[in-house]
Amino acid sequence: MSYYGSSSSGGRGGRRVEYGRSYVVRPKGRHLATIVWLHGLGDNGASWSQLLDALPLPNIKWICPTAATRPVAAFGGFPCTAWFDVDDTSVDGRDDIEGLDASAAHIANLLSSEPSDVKLGIGGFSMGAAAALHSAACYAHGKFSSGTPYPITLSAVVSLSGWLPCSRTLRGKMEGSHMAARRAASLPILLSHGRADEVVPYRNGERSTEFLRSSGFSYLTFKTYNGLGHYTIPEEMDDVCKWLSSRLSVDRSR
């Protein structure tokens, strides 16, 4: 089932967007949770699937999709894999709302066929983290920016080295809806950021956290790493494992 016209629809002017291959890492134990994990700009799902497969989280199924190839303003219009168009990797950048919605819908479509007793989550790195946080906002608001209802229930969201798109309008969307306030307050979110990040500066992770908190996302953890640039390290991934194990009530193995 598709929740945005088609799982490959979206993009500017309603043009069709073709998403790439999804790589699936099967759970090694009892299947208790499924997480869609989103790569960064210019990457693909395969690279992250290998790292996630090695994590000591036997009860989690990982789905690692590949973004559509599209022109990216930050690269002067050069096409590469991207979840949405971007010209500035910060909370102050222009928001490609149609592209963000299309990717959020594609992610929801990937999770929609999971068993009803399985908890659902979204995580990502860099631009993938931004798309994950947009999905969190759509879930709390109960609908995509387009007004189409958001169709799934999220139990966890992880952002590594990312930023919050549409940050300037988030608080206004949350205000005035008791249901949105409840969903925002009960959704566990982990943001991790390196203080030496040269691509998505640390201040953007910090400000994203501030925007989320002021909009009612109170079940939030912000972890920082001294000396960490725009990449991940074993210490950070170990913290992600601990956090997911706790929030999703899944086992850890060694």
> Which residues participate in catalysis according to the annotation?
126, 197, 230
Pairing of strands 69-72, 78-81: antiparallel
- Report how far residue 248's alpha carbon sits from residue 254's, in angstroms, rounded to the nearest whole number: 18
Question: Would you give the DSSP letter of residue 95?
Answer: P
Identify the helix (H) or strand (E) that includes residue 53: helix 45-53
Q: 3-class DSSP state for residue 134?
A: helix
What is the distance in angstroms between the CA of the first residue and the CA of the last residue of the chain? Answer: 37
Dist. CA 106–CA 101, nearest whole Å: 9
Residue 123, H or E segment:
strand 119-125
Strand partners, 60: 33
The tokens for 123 are: 């995580």
Q: Count the Cβ atoms, other than its own, within 10 Å of residue 31.
A: 17
* Measured distance CA(146)–CA(233) in Å, rounded: 37
